[in-house]
């Protein structure tokens, strides 16, 4: 049976990557996707469009907000910005991710 990534885990990691990206500076969707691709080493290369449902989900959860802005070359784009609760959530998520990763690591090592 081929190994399939857990949707929830993937979704969780995507959310984490988006939040991490936005913690540095407000950014538009394409910018986020570029940044996520860089830092995730191609994890998201499969499907850039799946970023947008994640952005909508985070916005509905109140972790990010968005507004229209202008890019350097004078194009109109939707900019996403992290909220205070998003910052808190990022801290908590990072912490729990690290715990999860460490736990997984130790399990893999023993087996």
Partner 1 sequence: MSWLEGSRARLRLLFGRGAAEARMEKEFDFHLDMETERLVREERLDPREARRRALVAFGGVQQHRERLRAGRGMAWFSALSLDLKLGFRMLAKYPGLAIIGGLAMAFGIWFGAVTFQMFGMLTNSTLPLPDGDRIVKIENWDSKILNEEDRALYDYQLWRTMRSIIDIGAYRNASANLVGADGTALPAAAAEITASAFRIAPERPLLGRVLEDSDERAGAVPVVLLGHDVWTRRFDSDPRIVGRTVRIGNRFATVVGVMPDGYAFPMAHHLWMPLRTNVPDVEPRQGIAITVFGRLAPGMTLGNAQAELTTIGKRLAAEHPTTHAQLEPHVFPYTQMASNNNDMAMMKMLTYVFVVALVLVVCSTVALLVFARAASRETELLVRSALGASRRRIVTQLFAEALVLAGVAAVVGLAAAQLTLTIWGEPYLKVGYGVSELPFWFDFTLSPTTVVYALALAVVGAVVAGVMPARKITGGLGAGLRAGTAGGGVSFGGVWTAVIVIQVALTVAFPSIVMLVRGESTRVAAYDFGFPVQEYLGVTLGVDGALEETLTPDSAAARARLGTSLEALRQRLEAEPGVAGVTFVDRFPGEHHVYRRLEVSLPGNPSSVVATASVDPSYFAVLQAPMIAGRGFTSSDLSPDVRVVIVDQAFADIVMGGRNPIGHRVRMRSSQMPDSIAARQPWYEIVGLVKELGVSAMAMPQRYAGLYMPATPGSQGALNMIVRGRGELLTIAPRVRELAMTVDPTLEVESITPFDQMKTSMLWFNGLWTRIIMGLAAVAVVLSLSGIYAVLSYTVARRTREIGVRVALGSSARRVITSIFKRPLIQVTLGVIAGSVLIAVGSIGVGNTTQFSGTGIGGFAPSDVVLLVAYAILMLGVCALACVVPTVRVLRVQPTEALRVE
Cβ at position 77, least distance to partner 1 in Å: 5
Site for partner 1 in 30-69 (CB under 8 A): 30, 33-34, 45-50, 52-53, 56-57, 59-63, 65
Burial 75-87 (b: 16+ CB within 10 A, else e): eeeebbebbeebe
Number of residues forming the site for partner 1 (CB under 8 A)? 30
CB of 60 or CB of 109, closer to partner 1: 60
CA distance 44 to 85: 25
- Of residues 7 and 111, the one with the C-beta less far from partner 1: 7
The single residue listed with the structure tokens 């985070």 is 58
Nearest residue to 33 via CA among 12, 57, 11, 17: 17
Binding site for partner 1 (CB under 8 A): 28-30, 33-34, 45-50, 52-53, 56-57, 59-63, 65, 75-78, 83-86, 89
């Amino acid at each position: 049976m081929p190994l399939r990534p857990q949707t929830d885990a993937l979704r969780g990691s995507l959310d984490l990557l988006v939040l991490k990206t936005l913690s540095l500076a407000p950014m538009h969707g394409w910018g986020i996707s570029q940044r996520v691709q860089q830092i995730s080493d191609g994890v998201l290369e499969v499907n850039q469009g799946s970023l947008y449902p994640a952005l909508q989900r985070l916005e509905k959860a109140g972790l990010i907000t968005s507004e229209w802005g202008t890019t350097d070359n004078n194009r109109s784009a939707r900019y996403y910005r992290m909220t205070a609760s998003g910052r808190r959530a990022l801290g908590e998520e990072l912490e729990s991710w690290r715990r999860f990763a460490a736990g997984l690591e130790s399990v893999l090592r023993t087996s």
